[in-house]
Structure 1
């Protein structure tokens, strides 16, 4: 994986993707002399969805950092990768396995972006809004909900809107760099997802039990 590094920094790129149980090649050679239709007839959009979370540097994937699990239900894989799962992976599987004082590159997916003290909004009740405000300021009695929200807006600071992941990284001596929205081309791990899916597509048995070992095998083939 190509990475922009300096003599004292390692660049770590992370991302998640998904692969369908019936993922296969879109075209293949068939025997036109047999007199019957042949080819791949497995519906590629059916079957279980497997989610893959990993990170890498210019030296390849980060050791022991692969998280592979089957989604519990159908739908967008972003709905399956929640902040709790991501933050646990980040702290337990990722941080211990790469050099200190690194730069961690990621996008602003919702699971990457949980805030430690998320400011309340108009959808919260008054008690919740007041509780948030009273952590740092005195709240006059008798304010209407709209006035409380105005007070929240005036007192939002970087300190109370920090991302949990940024804080965790900083506490461990690392820095997080977030990519602009819709600029995944700046994350080279996207190219590795294409290689991984290509490997699986050519060797897929379409058996759910074989998917996780096959994904691990594909990861091992990418140097």
Structure 2
């Protein structure tokens, strides 16, 4: 089985050393930036051979950690297709943590909501061929819908399954089991050591350069 560990991190255009910046010639100055500014999200996978370059995702985000289930599913849909094309006959497994964007349920397996009107609950029961009586109240219908709720299926898993790729989730709060976590401090140090323009475009170049050279 080919194993790929995935995680994401964020870097800002204002990344620089925390105290004094010094270039390779020995010239330096006091820190001018606060480390903020426009932000990039970086989404790579790590295998035994290092960072898998052809599936690295880098995109601009807001100051918040702007990762959503839709964005992640779009990325992984392309990534698993690439992995399968490169490894036609191999069993592939991607290891992720339990971030919310990995765990959004597929629409057909989401639990019924208390805010639903009765007609929506009835439709859910009909969709899953669950018998009920017309005299049931909305509360009773909701209880029945929850009792017969289908097995949870995650959008991430559905996208990966299209290319016969498995998703394995690490236990909650066990990110130490993901070796790619060790990469982020090294990558950000590299960016801070080389970031003199404070341009998001250049930060992206330095991030890609480090990922390409990474030999974890």
TM-score range, shorter chain: 0.7 to 0.9
* Structure 2 CA distance for aligned equivalents of residues 134 and 173 of structure 1: 31
Cα RMSD (Å): 2.1
Which consecutive segments of 4 or more residues in structure 1 shift more than 4 A?
none
Note if 1:130 corresponds to 2:116: no
Aligned to 2:180: 189
5+ residue gaps, structure 2: 23-27
Shift of residue 147, structure 1, vs aligned partner: 1.4
Shift of residue 140, structure 1, vs aligned partner: 2.7
SS, match of residue 70 in structure 1: strand
Alpha-carbon deviations, 1:81-123, whole Å to 9, x = none? 1111111111113442253311211012121112122122213
Aligned to 1:203: 194
| Closer, same or farther: CA 69–126 of 1 in aligned 2, 3 Å | same
| Closer, same or farther: CA 142–94 of 1 in aligned 2, 3 Å | same
Note if 1:146 corresponds to 2:139: yes
CA contact (8 A) 2:191 2:206 kept: yes
SS, match of residue 119 in structure 1: coil
Shift of residue 62, structure 1, vs aligned partner: 1.6
* TM-score, normalising length: structure 1: 0.82
After superposing the two structures, state which structure 1 stretch, 108-117 or 185-194, moved more.
Answer: 108-117
Aligned to 2:37: 47
Q: What pairs up with 1:79-90 in 2 under 5 angstroms?
A: 80-90=66-76
Shift of residue 130, structure 1, vs aligned partner: 2.2
Aligned to 2:25: none
Q: What pairs up with 1:10-159 in 2 under 5 angstroms?
A: 10-28=2-20, 38-44=29-35, 46-71=36-61, 73-75=62-64, 77=65, 80-97=66-83, 99=87, 100-116=90-106, 117=108, 118-136=110-128, 137-158=130-151
Equivalenced residues, count: 202
| Closer, same or farther: CA 104–209 of 1 in aligned 2, 3 Å | closer
Shift of residue 208, structure 1, vs aligned partner: 2.7
CA contact (8 A) 1:105 1:176 kept: yes
* Structure 1 CA distance for aligned equivalents of residues 116 and 179 of structure 2: 40
Shift of residue 38, structure 1, vs aligned partner: 4.2
* Structure 2 CA distance for aligned equivalents of residues 74 and 142 of structure 1: 52
* Structure 2 CA distance for aligned equivalents of residues 196 and 105 of structure 1: 21
5+ residue gaps, structure 1: 1-8, 31-36
